[in-house]
Structure 1
């Protein structure tokens, strides 16, 4: 049983939602998004975790947005959680980052590119926080058991996996839904329905995406069976400072969740 602090609506039987902007762009924006999603998830009785990257460490170009400052962004995450009584999560990129971020958030996320980094996984585990590990685009579902084992053997059984697509050629990703039940055999599984639609390695150095297909893979994932959804959302993705090309417009979230809950109920 995964025990996420402050997580509401656990007994509803609905999937968990991890959602928020790609990056923390400012205090007002973070509070606005968290507040609006909280209203939606409270009405629909969906367990909700607010997410936001405090620092973007894996940009393709040197001039890409990386953040508003580590301590400021982490404090905003903590404040959002305290104000709305929500669990919050962010991604970490090194052992020391994991130790520091654990003072501000409830859940530590390991990025896909770093999911095999033993020192990072062990450090995150030893904080005692819930740890989510994104499956590398280059890894099989079966191989993710080793990431789970590293965390559990470090004394922490609070681990979940996030599916975010598999490399398909040089500039595309696909989701192999056969992998969801495989990974669910050794850990709860969240489906990232926005990053899975990225189109990486563009010549411009800016990642593309196909947000018009968000509902398609979300419907498929919920029908197959999963424990939660991961969605990056923004009031205006066109002006988002990172990953705008594959984010869901915030105004579309409520209707999407309503439709997905119907599939979830039918698939039980």
Structure 2
């Protein structure tokens, strides 16, 4: 059974237009978040793409203990609430503990389970019990079929508002590989499938005390995923990635986003003419 999931004022899933999850990796400051969210929302509206703003209040899995993590949950949720109110879009953030899931669920529209935590049963249960949409990122260490176990954990808690996101598989040596077979496998569980085009080009720990990335490969991978058939795209976007405080090397520069999405949307239309 193919589920269509409500996010804010729109639906995602089979038969629906491709949607976009995008924003800076981490909340650096309120003004940058509001400005970036507003600009991405304008681009998404022009292209007819439903849009969910994404940014993290805490990056708990940074490579170095000295890396910037974000403003924390209290200030971060205040900023995300302001994005919802002033920009008028749904918002998503990732959560790392059961208490965070409960608290963030009072503000955001989508709770995201980080790839490294996708097998954490208690975290999945806490997220499911909020009743919010739960976007589970496939662990870099899992085969696509294993994600069925995460789906069952959420379903057993009575939550069928599920989205699954592919972000590449790790074979060590600071690299990730995207297997296009993953998309139809993940879709077989009956829920919308998203491609994380920016974390898939990350080079985890490739910068020694931080991750590196190859943003020049975001477009070809996103185009391939569009052709393979996905329901949405996740892209971390920043107005000045080279000076971003987290994940700069793999983020899409804001000024390049519109042209990238235009190409991706053309491929989606060709691959799914019924949409």
2:130 and 2:108 map into 1 onto residues whose CA distance is: 11
| Superposed structure 1 runs of 4+ greater than 6 Å apart | 8-12
* TM-score normalised to structure 2 length: 0.94
Structure scoring higher RCO (CA < 8 A, sep ≥ 6) equals 2
Write out per-residue CA displacement over residues 143-195 of structure 1, whole angstroms, 9 at most, x where no aligned residue.
00000110011010000100000002321000000010000011211000000
Contact kept? 1:14, 1:261, Cα under 8 Å: no
SS of 1:50's equivalent? strand
- Which residue is 2:223 aligned to? 219
Shift of the alpha carbon at 1:203?
Answer: 5.9
Are positions 1:148 and 2:147 aligned together?
no
> Which moved further from structure 2: 3-12 or 222-231?
3-12
The alpha carbon displacement at 1:31 in A equals 0.6
For residues 190-213 of structure 1, give each alpha carbon's deviation from its aligned partner in whole angstroms, at most 9, with x where no partner exists: 000000001113362210110000
Task: Give the distance between the partners of 2:18 and 2:36, measured in 1 at CA.
Answer: 20
Cα RMSD (Å): 1.6
1:232 is matched with: 236
Q: Give distance in 2, aligned partners of 1:147 and 1:38.
A: 31
1:205 aligns with 2:209: yes
Structure 2 vs 1, CA of residues 41 and 182 (structure 1 numbering), >3 Å: closer, same or farther?
A: same
Q: 1:10 to 1:137 in 2, by over 3 A?
A: closer
Match of 1:50? Answer: 53
For the 8 Å contact 2:13–2:192, the answer to whether it is kept is no
Secondary structure of 1:3's partner?
strand
Aligned pair 1:63/2:66, yes or no? Answer: yes
Length, aligned pairs only: 268
Equivalent position to 2:193, from 189, 196, 208: 189
Provide Cα deviations, 1:66-120, integer angstroms capped at 9, x if missing partner: 1123211111001101112211000000110000001110100000000000000
**Alignment correspondent of 1:241:** 245
Structure 2: state its 5+ residue gaps. Answer: none
CA-CA distance at 1:8 after TM superposition: 8.0
> Contact 1:231 / 1:247 at 8 angstroms: preserved in 2?
yes
Q: Which residue of 1 aligns with 2:139?
A: 136
The aligned residue for residue 175 of structure 1 is: 178
Q: Which moved more, 1:222-231 or 1:70-79?
A: 70-79
State TM-score, norm by structure 1: 0.97
Q: Give, in whole Å, the separation in 2 of the partners of 1:69 and 1:169.
A: 30
Residue ranges of structure 1 left out of the alignment (5+ in a row): none
Q: Which residue of 2 aligns with 1:93?
A: 96
Compute the displacement of 1:62 (Å).
1.1
